[in-house]
Structure 1
Amino acid sequence: MIATATAALFVIGAAGCSTDSGETRQPSSTVATATTHAPTAAPPVPQGSDGVDIERIEYLDPADADPAENWANLYLPAGDHEDGSVPLVTIVHGGGWESRAGAEQFDEMARDLASRGLAVYNIEYRRVGTGGGWPTTFHDVARALDYVPTVAESHPQLSIDDELVIGHSAGAQLAVWGGTRHRLEDDEVGSRPAFVPSRVVSISGPLDMRYAVNHGNGRVIKQILGGTPEQVPDRYESVDPIQNLDPQLPVILFHGLADDDVNPDNSRRYTAAVHASGGTADLHLFDGETHTSLVHRQSPAYQQIIDRLTDVATKELDKLRNE
């Protein structure tokens, strides 16, 4: 059974935000939390499948990049296509902003969307444990999004006039933040974007980060931002989705009511805030679905989400063609 509240925005991520395990120790300082590690090679490009081709994209200059982390896989419907005829969707995976989860988690979803005629840009970025943290993780995601126009230039079949960004869990926070970067001050991380998505989708996202700190996600949020809301308030104000609303950005939210990792009230609170600002948010709550079940094929809700994403992406492209 699905409970639905009206609103709109799109983001998709992967594995969940870690919950706290009784740990109450506060960070000893508020310095940047970026970590270093010995660079390794990126994983191989996944094999293509029937009707789907896959290419590797490197979105950072070699001098700035970690070759193991700063890349994306581009999933393309096979065959020849007219210029501007294939809608592009970007996926930002989750995993608590930590190294334990990577872009490979969304290989199945990327293939399923590509098999329906969409192109998918599935990005990898540095996380805590793989050279990321504050502010590196946010710089990486911003640069990956800003590379979308370059991807479209080299793949003229792509349409980015109404591009969706999808995120799950921590990736949802990054995706929704990515949709509002044009509202940042010039000195903030990710400001002055070269590309701004027109729609965002959040799946199981901690979109009220101050609330999430005290409701199950304190350890990972304090780790990625380098402190509590009281210790580093400027960082929360800059990247917390609920503090950076854009009424012009449609948002779609999916959340399982059995989610024990990220409280569904995150999505409820964000939806209410969007509505109060005069914007649109489309919230879908799924009975019995957990934090990660929504992004796995075995879940009944998964197919509904794929159908909705496909429908929105193709309808908006048709609307643009008819204008």
Structure 2
Amino acid sequence: MSAPDEETALLGLAPVAPDRSVAYGPHPDQVLDLYGSWGADAGPLVVLLHGGFWRAAYDRRHLSPLAAELAGRGVPVALAEYRRVGAGGGAPQTFEDVAAAVGAAVAEAGRAHRGVVLVGHSAGGHLALLTAARSESPATRVLAVSPVADLALAHELDLSDGAVAGLLGGDGPGFAERLAAADPLRHPPAGTTVTILHGTADPDVPPELSRRYADAFPDATDLHELPGVGHYAPVTPGTAACRELLARVGTRGRSSVA
């Protein structure tokens, strides 16, 4: 499947409505969509962070089929929305929202889970890696999928037409300091196991970003490259790449998607 076909396949899936939603703040984008069973026999709590280069044009709905697929395999899933660039987000609001969303998901689950797994795709992978660097983070594992793991290189490559500068409020005075503060490559995981899945044919976020992160933190990072896979297949239920993701999360049962 080519890169454009991967995007079409994911975005062509019908959104799956959550079982319920809860707000973690007053802004309309400060919300968690909850999927699956949140009872005493729940597996690891999965907090799912979507991508879209941190921009308001992209919301959580395209990952709702993945959230439902994970939930169908026996784990509680919180699909997080957060303020994004163009709608009250950017640094630091986006980062504050992710921390608050993870905390709210853990509080919602109470004791009915076995560990907290952050699963982030693309820009959501960047946010998951930043969360993994917080000593107070409740995450026990992070699975970053095609993540923007090296923010400085992403800016140098001008990924998505200046997305990094947009996230950080423009490439002006103080930009170097803001970039360093938000770059996962400058902040090692704080006692959290990190797994990265990245397709070797990803045209949107080059796999070199993940390789550099793994080289920087070899003792804490497990990098798995997916030969010939692009940007979207790992989060598209029914693909071989997505089955790899499901296995890494630690779900049980068979896929509900053919």
TM-score (norm 1): 0.68
CA distance in 2: counterparts of 1:105 and 1:117, whole angstroms? 21
Q: Could you tell me which residue of structure 2 aligns to residue 73 of structure 1? A: 33
Select the residue among 86, 99, 107 that pairs with 1:150. Answer: 107
Aligned length: 239
Select the residue among 83, 105, 118 that pairs with 1:165. Answer: 118
Asked which structure has the greater RCO (Cα within 8 Å, sep 6+), the reply is 1
Q: Could you tell me which residue of structure 1 aligns to residue 4 of structure 2? A: none
Aligned-pair RMSD on alpha carbons?
2.4
CA distance in 2: counterparts of 1:167 and 1:250, whole angstroms? 14
Q: Could you tell me which residue of structure 2 aligns to residue 58 of structure 1? A: 23
Deviation at 1:213, TM superposition (A): 0.9
Select the residue among 269, 281, 303 that pairs with 2:212. Answer: 269
One-letter identity of the residue aligned with 1:66: H
Q: Could you tell me which residue of structure 2 aligns to residue 199 of structure 1? A: 141
Deviation at 1:297, TM superposition (A): 2.5
Contact 1:203 1:254 in 2 (8 A): yes
Q: Secondary structure at the match of 1:97?
A: coil
One-letter identity of the residue aligned with 2:207: P
Q: Could you tell me which residue of structure 1 aligns to residue 10 of structure 2? A: none
* Structure 1 unaligned residues grouped into runs of 5+: 1-14, 16-44, 49-53, 183-192, 315-323
1:306 aligns with 2:246: yes
Does the C-alpha gap of structure 1 residues 286 and 84 become closer, same or farther in structure 2, counting only changes over 3 Å?
same
Q: Which has the larger radius of gyration?
A: 1
Q: Could you tell me which residue of structure 1 aligns to residue 63 of structure 2? A: 106
Aligned-residue sequence identity (percent) comes to: 31
Contact 2:140 2:193 in 1 (8 A): yes
Deviations 1:39-86 (A, max 9, x none): xxxxxx9546xxxxx1111112xxxx212x1101111238xx4x2643
Q: Could you tell me which residue of structure 2 aligns to residue 320 of structure 1? A: none
CA distance in 1: counterparts of 2:16 and 2:146, whole angstroms? 26
One-letter identity of the residue aligned with 1:56: S
More helix by share: 2
Select the residue among 186, 189, 206 that pairs with 1:246. Answer: 189
Q: Could you tell me which residue of structure 2 aligns to residue 27 of structure 1? A: none
Q: Could you tell me which residue of structure 1 aligns to residue 3 of structure 2? A: none
Q: How does 1:170-319 map to 2 (within 5 A)?
A: 170-182=123-135, 193=136, 195-217=137-159, 219-228=162-171, 231-246=174-189, 248-275=191-218, 279-311=219-251
Contact 1:118 1:310 in 2 (8 A): no
* Structure 2 unaligned residues grouped into runs of 5+: 1-6, 8-14, 254-258
One-letter identity of the residue aligned with 1:164: V
Deviation at 1:247, TM superposition (A): 5.9
Deviation at 1:95, TM superposition (A): 0.3
One-letter identity of the residue aligned with 1:224: L
Q: Could you tell me which residue of structure 2 aligns to residue 6 of structure 1? A: none
Q: Secondary structure at the match of 1:159?
A: coil
Q: Could you tell me which residue of structure 2 aligns to residue 185 of structure 1? A: none
Q: Secondary structure at the match of 1:96?
A: coil
